[in-house]
Structures are given as structure tokens and as C-alpha cells.
Amino acid sequence: MANAHEPLEMEPFGIRVEFLRTGEQTGGEVLEMDVIGRPRGFLSQRHVHPSQVERLQIVSGAMKVVMHGREQRLTEGQSIEVPAGTPHTQGPLGDGPGRVRIQVRPAGRTRQFLERLATLCREGNVTRLGYPRPAAAAELILEFSDTGHANIPPLGVQRAIAHVVLAFANSSRPYVFVDQWDVAAPPEAVFDAVADAGSYPVWWRPVYLDVQSDGPVRVGALSRQHFKGRLPYHLHTSSVIAELDPPRTITADVSGDLRGRGTWTLTPTEHGTHVRFDWQVHADRKLLRVLTPALRPLFRWNHNWAIKAAIRGLEPYAQRDGS
């Protein structure tokens, strides 16, 4: 959280915001700030503040405000008040940057909204025309529509579209899993088990049904897997070893019904080996891509079930191999 007087730089939107009084300082009564620059894009669209009164005073430069079908031009020293719930636009006039002092009553969550916009700017989530990228815009609508939102289409329609946009965005987001456990067997034996994909149907049951490998463990080695979880489908993937550092780490790139990268990291312990499995993967099978937004929690449950099977099987297999 920024402190009370830390300015917000929002170059993609064409402005800098300097806070003069915040809701924390005024008991929520008012937020007062200076906006310096030439607002553009997202900040220039027709919008409405459902429950806040906005007072605009020109400190330097000039601007125009359009509301109730009328355009009003303001110059230095002039001010205007926009009632709550009134659709309006505001934009700069003339050349060069201006400075507008804005009071928002009550303060509401306007400061948090502006801080979110500044974060989007820093993270590259604003286009060169000054508009948030689709997923970022959808999140703004769902989280901050009580602070302000575009006048059209109706808010209910905007929110419905936002949910659809985020559903598609989430479907392209990878699954990221990190699982860790201890195995009472030496690292060399554990490494031999996790590095040899051909052994998976032996110890990682009933998840792995069949694995075909093209030879000994080495960088570039290819294997093909057929496996399943608790959900009613089978998956087929191909894995290529990308990094190998026996008996500490092995990394493989995966393609097929799943696409991503998995890394096993083994650390010696007093009683054996600490195992960490990092797994970042996209669901590339068409049905999985379609179901991902709705079934992401179910897919995570399915992964957890498969890891429990690995925990059960890896230790006795490595103990046998290391004895």
C-alpha cells in the first residue's frame, strides 16, 4: 500500500496522481488529489460514479467536461461538480499538461482503484492507446464497479462479459503444482526411480499404465507415457529430458495432452531423501481446455490423488533398488 503522499505514475494513461488528503486521513469523508498530465484512453471514456460526488477544479491548463448533453469548458481557477450517478466525460484542452484538483466524496475505494491502475501500468497490462488489457479490464469491472464504470453497455452486461473474458483467460493459465515429501531411501536410489520413466508403471500405480523409453537416462532422451487419474479420461504425453544432474535434479519438457515442464529435486536428509516435484503444465487436450475454467479445482484434486500414489510407491521401490 502506498503511503499518504506517495505519487502514482501512470504514463500509459498520460497522468501522474499526487494525493493531498486520503480517506484514511478524513475518516472516509473525502479523497483529494491533483491529477497532472493529459488523461487519455480508458480515463477519457464516458463513465459514472454510482455513489460519489466528484468536484473538479482547474489549477493550470484547461479541460472540457460533458454531462447532461452539454459541454463545459473550464480554465484556470474554474471548477465543476459532477453529481453521483451522472454519466460524464472529461478531457484536456489546449497543449501541454494540465493540473486538475479532484475531490471525491465520500472517499470510497477510489485510491485503491487508482493504485490498481498504477500497478497495471508497471506490469505492462495497459495498451499503448491507454486501455487495460482484456483480463485486467474484466477484473476492474468485477472489483471496482462500485467506484466507477463505463456508462454503456449496462453494468450487468459489462459484468457478464467480464466473467466470460476471465473464464477464457483462466483456461490459458498453466496449472502450477509443488509437492514435497520425505523418502527413507538414499538419493541415488530415489534418483534412479524418478529419472527412469520406464519404471513408473511399477511404482507409480495405478496412475501410469504404460511408458516407452528410447534408451538410457540422458539429456535428450525421449519417453512416451500413457496414464490416468481418478477422472474418467486417459492421457498420452511425450517427455524429453532437458536437464540432468544426478543424483540431485532432473527436468523434463512434456508435450501431448499436457504441455509443460516437470522438475524433480532431491536433497539428502538424515534418514534418506527429501523429494520436491515442481510441475507446471497446460491442458492441451481440447476437452480439458474447454473444461478448465469450470473444473480447475477438480483437476487439482486429481493431481493430489496421483501424487499420493507416488508417495505410496516411491519409497518401497527405492528401498528395494538401494538395498
pLDDT string in tens for the chain (323-residue length): 344 568 999 999 999 999 999 999 999 999 999 999 999 999 999 999 999 999 999 999 999 999 999 999 999 999 999 999 999 999 999 888 999 999 999 999 999 999 999 999 999 999 999 999 998 999 999 999 999 999 999 999 999 998 888 877 766 677 889 999 999 999 999 999 999 999 999 999 999 999 999 889 999 999 999 999 887 778 899 999 999 999 999 999 999 988 899 999 999 999 999 999 999 987 766 555 555 555 567 778 889 999 999 999 999 999 986 55
In this prediction the pTM is: 0.58
**What are the structural domain ranges in the chain?**
8-171, 175-322
How far apart CA 265 and CA 82 sit, in angstroms, is 60
Cis-peptide, bond into residue 106, ω within 30° of zero: yes
**CATH of the domain spanning 8-171:** 2.60.120.10
**CATH of the domain spanning 175-322:** 3.30.530.20
C-alpha distances in Å from residue 222, one per residue of 35, 142, 189, 215, 218: 58, 45, 21, 8, 9
- pLDDT value, residue 140: 95
How far apart CA 214 and CA 208 sit, in angstroms, is 17
As beta bridge partners, residue 106 has: none
Contact call for residues 56 and 86 (beta carbons, < 8 A): no
As beta bridge partners, residue 292 has: none
